[in-house]
């Protein structure tokens, strides 16, 4: 499996600068900034959580939460124990401002670099676009491994890890995560057909931890 080429999306400088701009835009126009992969991609995951008996008081972490809009939508659905981490201070400032304005100030946000390990233990860990960014960093193979260990160590043994990616296919993600996770469910995403084969522009997969002796 080939690694992705490194790009500015894999650097903290890029995200810091971007969230400075988004913070200004939120203060001036009330615009929360980009919804990565569109609102429907978050809706698909939230529907899956709601329709599969996930208790509303589950501890849910969004890794690389950005502006925190995924957590806001979960709060609207009645989920109550919500946590967001991002390594960009600007993202966390923006997410806090949006949550305060929308009166969801009980969402807990903190600056954490997932590659240095995560602080809490969670029932659900969610990622939309963060593993993609990490896969474009300078040392992608090493960083993907650090990411995998962080998620594994911070997830309860019966928890779910849910990832949405636009850079990796289902089989590539399965190959990368299969050392520590079993595929539990592939959440269907819009498909396109090209030259007789069917593919997806984004992939969303629910994983469960493997029991490692
Ligand atoms: C493509 S954006 C997605 C943001 C958000 N998940 C969403 O769906 O709107 C990737 C996010 O990952 C964050 N990120 C990248 N590497 C990270 C790391 N090592 N630790 C924590 N956050 C990271 C970036 O700051 C950025 O907010």
Q: What is the percent of the chain with per-residue pLDDT over 90, rounded to a whole number?
A: 85
Report the separation in Å between the CA atom of 33 and the middle of ligand 1, taken as the mean of its atom positions: 13
Q: Is CATH 3.30.230.10 correct for 8-209?
A: no
Give the mean model confidence (pLDDT) for residues 113-128.
97
Tell me the per-residue pLDDT of 7-46, one tens digit each, with 9 for 90 and over: 899 999 999 999 999 999 999 999 999 888 888 999 999 9
Segment 82-120, tens digit of pLDDT: 999 999 999 999 999 999 999 998 999 999 999 999 999
Q: Is the CB of 36 under 6 A from ligand 1?
A: yes
Q: Is the Cβ atom of 133 under 6 angstroms away from ligand 1?
A: yes
Q: Whose Cα sits closest to atom 2 in ligand 1?
A: 129
Is 148 a residue whose pLDDT tops 80? Answer: yes
What's the pLDDT band for 194 if we cut at 50, 70, 90?
low
The mean pLDDT of the chain is 94
- The structural domains of the chain, with segments of one domain joined by +, span 8-209
Ligand 1 atom closest to residue 12's alpha carbon, by position in its atom list: 25
H-type alpha helices, the chain: 12-29, 39-51, 69-76, 89-101, 130-134, 140-154, 170-177
- DSSP for residue 120: S
Distance 7 CA to ligand 1 centre (A): 14
Residue 49 Cβ contacting ligand 1 at under 6 Å: no
Three-state secondary structure readout of 52-81: CCCCCCCEEEEECCCCCHHHHHHHHCCCCE
């Amino acid at each position: 499996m080939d690694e992705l080429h490194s790009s500015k999306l894999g650097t903290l400088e890029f995200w810091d600068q971007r969230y400075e701009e988004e913070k200004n835009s939120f203060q001036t126009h009330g615009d929360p900034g980009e919804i990565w992969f569109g609102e429907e991609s978050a809706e698909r995951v939230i529907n899956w959580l709601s329709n599969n008996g996930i208790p509303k008081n589950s501890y849910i972490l969004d890794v690389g939460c950005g502006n925190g809009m995924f957590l806001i939508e979960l709060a609207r659905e009645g989920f109550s124990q919500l946590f967001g981490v991002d390594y960009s201070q600007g993202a966390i400032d923006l997410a806090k401002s949006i949550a305060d304005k929308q009166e969801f100030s009980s969402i807990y946000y903190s600056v954490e670099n997932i590659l240095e390990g995560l602080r809490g233990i969670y029932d659900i860990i969610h990622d939309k676009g963060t593993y993609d960014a990490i896969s474009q960093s300078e040392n992608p193979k090493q960083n993907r491994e650090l990411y995998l260990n962080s998620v594994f160590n911070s997830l309860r043994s019966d928890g779910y890890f849910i990832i949405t990616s636009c850079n990796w296919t289902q089989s590539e993600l399965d190959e990368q995560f299969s050392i520590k996770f079993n595929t539990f469910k592939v959440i269907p995403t819009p498909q396109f057909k090209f030259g007789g084969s069917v593919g997806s522009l984004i992939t969303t997969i629910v994983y469960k931890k493997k029991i490692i002796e």
